[in-house]
A = this chain, B = another copy of it.
Amino acid sequence: MELGSLSTPSLVLSRTVLEQNAERMKSRAADLNVQLRPHVKTAKCRQIAKLATTGNTPSITVSTLTEAEYFADAGFQDIVYAVCITPDKLDRAASIAKHTQLHLITDCLSVADDVANHSSSHRVFIEIDCGEHRTGVLPESDELLQIAERLTKTQRSRLSGVLTHAGHSYACRNEHAMRAIAEEERAAAVLAAERLRAEGYEVPIVSVGSTPTACFAEHLQGVTEMRPGVYLLGDLFQAGIGTCGLEDIAATVLTSVISRNLQTNTLVIDAGGLALSKDRSTQSTDFDAGFGRVARIDEGTPMDGVFIHEVHQEHGLIRLPEHLNAFDFPVGTRLRVYPNHICMTAAMYSHYEVYGTSLQITERWPRTNGWT
């Protein structure tokens, strides 16, 4: 089937661009001499995770226990669940850990006690705050050592290492700033690991990661792995801050013109707040893209000046720029929308429609969404 014949809205994925993105980050990890443990919270798809990983025991990062279950079922044997664990989730985690090596994370003394006293053994990272101040303990804090002590005191659970995420790299608007944050991220993780080792703890894994810092780190000495994720699919925000080009955006939303107004030169499409998400991350930047930028289906990058200006649940409004005329976009015309933030947009779809260089749909790859 041709891409243009799919029902709309659909989430369409260029296998060619995806593979290029995957290979580029594999090379980057090799150059930095670290293991690549891609965060698959963006892709949520076993086929994509397989393309993104290497080796006999490919390692991945997930954001929900539902993802952990799905990827364990798919044969992934080394999984980090990179959202702080709560005591009530330990039974479910233990059940997953029967089939795969599952690592949890925490930044909390009382949770460390709960893990240590739980009936099952767990592998646990201590989360480090490298400057984002969202979650994690400071690398120089007393809590770091206290959590390690409590986690390991019953000798049932073991310390996997330290893990940090420089989410504040998303606020950077140039390479210089991203390099600086990447060094903060590296230094915080390495300092935490060194302090734990000085106290006699084994720290097998020192884990950092975000797409901006993975792209711009000058070196990762002392780090053993990195966990970028969004680079696999790319989006307008990432293109705007320079971690990819527009031509590296692999996933877009196929949509149809459903109404138009020739007087106001406006198109209405069948991709609205649900099909695109209401993410407005580009708003705070110099490259505000509304709710997405619009391309013709056979062109690899968006048209100049064509944005989604407004969304309702199932409607998107495009006010065309002067050099384009709504007359040339009759009802039924297929378009593609480049999303602001693909993690949010892709989450609305049960699967990807995968196409090759000829714009023929070759496969349908399922995603795992939700929490149960």
- Give A residues with C-beta under 8 Å from B: 5, 7-10, 41, 63-64, 83-89, 92, 107-108, 110-111, 133-136, 167, 256-261, 264, 268, 270, 273-275, 277-280, 312-315, 317, 330-332, 343-344, 347-351, 369-372
Selected from B64, B84, B274, the residue in CB contact (under 8 A) with A259 is B84
Selected from B110, B258, B273, the residue in CB contact (under 8 A) with A344 is B273
Question: Are B10 and A258 in contact, with the CB atoms below 8 A?
Answer: no
Question: Are B135 and A332 in contact, with the CB atoms below 8 A?
Answer: no
Find chain B residues with CB under 8 A from A317 CB.
134
Question: Are B278 and A278 in contact, with the CB atoms below 8 A?
Answer: yes
Selected from B108, B264, B332, B344, the residue in CB contact (under 8 A) with A88 is B332
Question: Are B332 and A350 in contact, with the CB atoms below 8 A?
Answer: no
This chain's copy number in the assembly = 2
Shortest CB-to-CB span from A261 to chain B, Å, is: 7
Question: Are B135 and A344 in contact, with the CB atoms below 8 A?
Answer: no
Q: Which residue of B lies closest to A170 (CB)?
A: B312
Question: Are B313 and A63 in contact, with the CB atoms below 8 A?
Answer: yes
Q: A83-B315, A278-B277, A344-B273 are in contact. Are A9 and B371 (CB under 8 A)?
A: yes
Question: Are B313 and A261 in contact, with the CB atoms below 8 A?
Answer: no
Looking at chain A's contact residues, the main secondary structure is loop
Find chain B residues with CB under 8 A from A347 CB.
274, 348
Bound CA span A266–B176, Å:
30
Find chain B residues with CB under 8 A from A110 CB.
330-331
Find chain B residues with CB under 8 A from A313 CB.
41, 63, 343-344
Bound CA span A355–B274, Å:
27
Question: Are B84 and A331 in contact, with the CB atoms below 8 A?
Answer: yes
Please list 6 pairs of residues, one from A and one from B, whose beta carbons are closer than 8 Å in the complex, sorted by A's number. Answer: A10-B371, A84-B331, A88-B256, A273-B343, A313-B344, A350-B370
Question: Are A268 and B84 in contact, with the CB atoms below 8 A?
Answer: yes
Q: A87-B332, A331-B111, A344-B278 are in contact. Are A7 and B312 (CB under 8 A)?
A: no
Bound CA span A136–B258, Å:
11
Question: Are B370 and A258 in contact, with the CB atoms below 8 A?
Answer: no
Q: Which 6 A-B pairs have the closest CB atoms?
A: A84-B258, A135-B259, A278-B278, A63-B314, A108-B331, A84-B259
Bound CA span A344–B314, Å:
11
Shortest CB-to-CB span from A335 to chain B, Å, is: 12
Find chain B residues with CB under 8 A from A348 CB.
347, 369-370
